[in-house]
Amino acid sequence: MKPTGAPDDHAAAPLGDGTRAVHAGLPPDEPYAPPLAGPAFAAHYHLPGDPAGAPYTYGRDGNPTWTALERALAELEDPDGTAHAVAFASGMAAMSAVLLSRVRPGDVVVLPDDGYNLLARLRERLEAHGARVRRVPTGGEEQFRALSGASLLWLETPSNPGLDVCDVRALADAAHREGALVVVDNTLATPLGQRPLRLGADVSVASGTKALTGHGDVLLGYVACRDAEVADGVRQWRKIVGAVPGPMEAWLAHRSLATLRLRVDQQARTALAVARALAERPEVSGLRHPGLPEDAAHPLAARQMRRFGCVVSFTLPDLEHAERFLAALRLVHQATSFGGVRSTAERRGRWGGDAVPEGFVRLSVGVEDTEDVVADLLRALDAADRT
């Protein structure tokens, strides 16, 4: 892939992340055509004769807008590689497709016990279907000890919401020796922050609802696989359960990729500044951000991540203190997602699915000016202390 007008003698030079994100998945230049064609709204296609080999047959099987997005996602997850990407209606649809298409009765599955809270619902489904599930915390030796006889290892790094980090390459090597498939939930890092397939994982799965699309207006998920057979399995699952993305959502997601590097760079800068400011506050405990040099996960994160993400987590003294803080915020909105252009925060304990203190806050930094976000947080902390 070469950006329009790039000199031929530099064609072999690797593209930067921003350039790749801008051009990923675009069709070859065509006179007078838009660089990114509009969404294809189609439930069916003209289909004469034998449908075998037809690129598009029915709207649940494929769509040109999905194809362009999936090509872009594969390029971002595995630059200049051979990855296969499959888009889904949501991150949960993508997660479900991987687990429920791969795991069989009697299989041993290793899952994080500190990851995304709806993963627990999938665990219940797996166990109901006869799988044996081992749950272990992210990071540390327990993940390695749980691998004996495993058929699938699921990693979430950094974990959500605790922001622990695990060694993808070492765990992938150990899991492969057991014959296990290795899946990494890459939602928080995005492919510009971390490329699990390049670290040895077999599958990278993510919610595109979060930082990938970044505007808080799209529900989307995707799976990127090194093996075409694995990709075919999740693609068939998508067809059977109908968990297909809408063409408008797929088009919006592809459009949003062009600003991905700009957004994640600004968010990473602000998140680090926020973490440093919060570290000075006596009422703040349990502060986590993998980009903070003092964070326990930083040395490992620095080895396998290229950007450290937009999320900062911390704990205030109790539920009431946290609620006063959140109510006093002006620029930072209360919302349950993360990764968007607008800064958000929430008290995660209100959902009941995460093993966190009542005063635990997950903060997602947007693309506002760094100084303004920091000032809003400090002012709200002061207000919470005075009340």
Q: Which residues of the chain have pLDDT under 50?
A: 1-7
Question: Cα-flanking dihedrals φ and ψ of residue 181, to 5°?
Answer: -80, 140
Q: Letter for the amino acid at 252?
A: L
Query: What confidence score (pLDDT) does residue 10 get?
Result: 52
Would you say 301 and 169 are in contact if contact means Cβ atoms under 8 Å apart? no
Strands 181-185 and 152-156: parallel
Q: Which tens digits make up the pLDDT trace of 54-107?
A: 999 999 999 999 999 999 999 999 998 899 999 999 999 999 999 999 999 999
Query: What confidence score (pLDDT) does residue 12 get?
Result: 64
Q: What is the CA radius of gyration of the chain?
A: 21
Angle between helices 119-128 and 91-102 (to 10 degrees): 20
Query: What confidence score (pLDDT) does residue 386 get?
Result: 84
Would you say 209 and 218 are in contact if contact means Cβ atoms under 8 Å apart? yes
Query: What confidence score (pLDDT) does residue 6 get?
Result: 45
Residue closest to 213 by CA, chosen among 237, 233, 177, 187: 187
Output the CA torsion sign for 5, 9, 12, 14. Answer: negative
16-257 CATH choice from 3.90.180.10, 3.30.460.10, 3.40.640.10, 3.90.79.10: 3.40.640.10
- CA 198 to each of CA 17, 72, 187, 226, 337: distance values in angstroms, whole numbers, following the listed order: 15, 17, 16, 10, 27
Extents of the domains making up the chain: 16-257, 261-386
Q: How far apart are CA 341 and CA 344, in angstroms?
A: 9
Would you say 77 and 20 are in contact if contact means Cβ atoms under 8 Å apart? no
- CA 300 to each of CA 50, 203, 293: distance values in angstroms, whole numbers, following the listed order: 53, 21, 11
Q: Would you state the structure tokens that stand for residue 10, as one six-digit string?
A: 């530099």
Output the CA torsion sign for 137, 142, 143, 146. Answer: negative
- CA 250 to each of CA 57, 82, 86, 256, 276: distance values in angstroms, whole numbers, following the listed order: 18, 21, 11, 10, 37
Query: What confidence score (pLDDT) does residue 4 get?
Result: 47
Class of domain 261-386: alpha beta
Query: What confidence score (pLDDT) does residue 11 get?
Result: 56
- Starting from the edge strand earliest in sequence, which strands make up the sheet with 84-88, in order? 84-88, 221-225, 203-207, 181-185, 152-156, 108-112, 132-136
**CB hemisphere CA count around 165 (13 angstroms):** 24
Please identify every residue annotated as catalytic.
60, 116, 185, 210
- DSSP H helices, the chain, are 17-23, 64-77, 91-102, 119-128, 142-145, 168-177, 228-241, 247-257, 260-278, 298-304, 319-328, 370-386
**Those residues with Cβ within 8 angstroms of residue 180's Cβ, 6 or more apart along the chain or in another chain:** 110, 147, 150, 151, 152, 153
Q: How far apart are CA 256 and CA 211, in angstroms?
A: 10
Query: What confidence score (pLDDT) does residue 352 get?
Result: 82
Look over the chain and give the mean of its residue pLDDT values, rounded to a whole number.
95
